[in-house]
Copies of this chain bind each other. A is one copy, B any other.
Amino acid sequence: MSSTFGRLFTITTWGESHGPALGVVIEGCPAGLAISEDEIQRDLDRRRVGQSIVTSTRDEKDRVEILSGVFEGITTGAPISLMTTNTDQRSKNYDNLRDVFRPGHADYTYWAKYGHRDHRGGGRSSSRETWGRVAAGAIARKLLAQGGTDIFAYAAEIGGIEMQTFDRDQIEQNLVRCPDPVAAERMVEAITRVRKERDSIGGIVEVRAQGVPPGLGDPTFDKLDALIGMAMLSIPATKGVEIGGGFALARQRGSDANDAFIVEGGRVHTRSNNAGGTLGGISTGEEIVVRVALKPTSSIAREQDTVDTDLQPRKLVVEGRHDPCVVPRAVPVVEAMLALTLADLLLVNRAARLHPDQ
């Protein structure tokens, strides 16, 4: 069930980048939630390619259709099936990739695992698969919003350029989704430059969740940290994740790293938030802060050494319309994965106590 995520609020994505359609089935969304195609589309539009000069020029409309599970605008508790049809596929573009392994891509590993693959645009391994995550994530966010939980992500670093200031209102005002408009401009320049050089760059997406109730996440293996780690490292191109202080904490002392407990507004808080909103794998109620490292786009229009399915050496230039940096479009995907993780834990948590209302 490797295309399924979650335990009670679960999603199953299906579809290949060059098949007739893509979709997601959401199981376990509680009955009684108002949801519309327009609300889902809003998040999908942020993930879409062809948005700007820093993304691919492919034109994917990505229009969502709700096929089940919603009756008269309200969820019924039945599986919610969301679908979009693929358009503007240029599968012919991929004919030269039928027998050769693109470096940095899943071509070789799929071939080694399955003995056979859909080579068109990466097939199942394409980041086009994240359509379903964002569509389902919109519903998870709506569910979380009922309890006052708000999630947002942004580009914290691109091509080595780090954000220096934080203004949430700036995030959607620039092409790279960076909360620092000055850094954003430099990031756009860096992307423009590598695109011209037929190269690509990576970066870091940061995501925060505010208004998370204490108690989400479960001991031992289903720790909130562990589930966030799984969620984030399931996104294509991710190679690292850290929570709160993350790797920097490995260089600190306990007397600096520990967050002192205080009482504010009648409930327990911490003075600092090095823990990033979790202790013992369970949410503290403080802001959840997660950073995700994304490698540079693997598809580059430069000649690279590789081999083919006959194990012969080959030179390869990956043509096609690819994002020179995946960070801007990864922002809504990261948001979606955190929302899906938290929505699931919110439902799981209802079973934690004999009398859950206490």
Contact = CB atoms under 8 A, between A and B. Distances in A.
A99 to B, nearest CB: 13
Given A221-B3, A223-B233, A81 B14 contact: yes
A339 B19 CA distance: 27
Contacts of A283: 109
Interface string A258-274: 11111100111011001
A190 B341 CA distance: 38
Interface in A190-249: 194, 199-204, 214-215, 217-223, 225-234, 236, 238-247, 249
Interface stretch (A48-56, A164-172, A179-187, A302-310): A302-310
A5 to B, nearest CB: 4
Contact of A259 (B80, B104, B202): B104
Interface residue tally on A, bucketed by range: 35 or more
Contacts of A71: 16, 116-118, 123
A281 B10 CA distance: 20
A78 B14 contact: yes
Number of copies: 4
Interface in A249-292: 249-263, 266-268, 270-271, 274-276, 278-285
Given A239-B242, A296-B254, A101 B223 contact: no
Contacts of A313: 262-263
Given A199-B254, A349-B113, A350-B356, A219 B124 contact: yes
Q: Which 7 A-B pairs have the closest CB atoms?
A: A106-B280, A2-B218, A240-B242, A229-B229, A2-B222, A200-B254, A109-B282
11 contacts: A30-B352, A31-B352, A77-B219, A78-B219, A104-B259, A108-B268, A109-B217, A124-B220, A229-B229, A241-B241, A249-B295
